[in-house]
Amino acid sequence: MVGAKTDPSKAPEIAETERTGVDIVKSAIAQARKTGTPVGVAEAGRGRPKKSDDEDVEVEDTWNKPEDDENEDEDKIDKKAQTAAKKGGSNLTKLNKVTTQLKELEKEMKDLAGKYKKAEKSEKENLLNKLKEKTKTKKELENMQDKLADLIG
């Protein structure tokens, strides 16, 4: 599967993965750019001329040809990508904050665990209660982190 933003220099790698020819991958990328939607490499290969051992098949190189509506389509795609990036960016920022809070909380919990080991019985209860509260907070942060990671994709 390739999209409008797929890097053409990756065509040989994609062709190897998809077990097809580089021109088919390039054709799929061109089709994705033209339509603005993802295209399966197999779809782009359908209907292409097959080459027999003694027959040369000439395939028109549409890769570098400018499309009339290409700029208009590219603008629409860019606007959609910017909107998605803004949404994803805010989720990414939230994810970074949650991850930072989680790391700080884990560090605090380790410190408290060390103090708990050295503490007297009366002090241990207080530290244990703090650790239980921090454990609840940690689970909430982990759930939030998982949800944000799923949103980002």
pLDDT category at 54 given cuts 50, 70, 90 is very low
User: Cα–Cα distance between 152 and 148 in angstroms, integer?
Assistant: 6
Q: Which residue has the higher pLDDT, 73 or 130?
A: 130
Q: Is the pLDDT of residue 69 over 90?
A: no
> Do residues 2 and 38 lie in contact, with contact meaning Cβ atoms separated by under 8 Å?
yes
> Do residues 149 and 91 lie in contact, with contact meaning Cβ atoms separated by under 8 Å?
no
Spatial CB neighbours of 12, under 8 Å, sequence gap ≥ 6: 22, 25
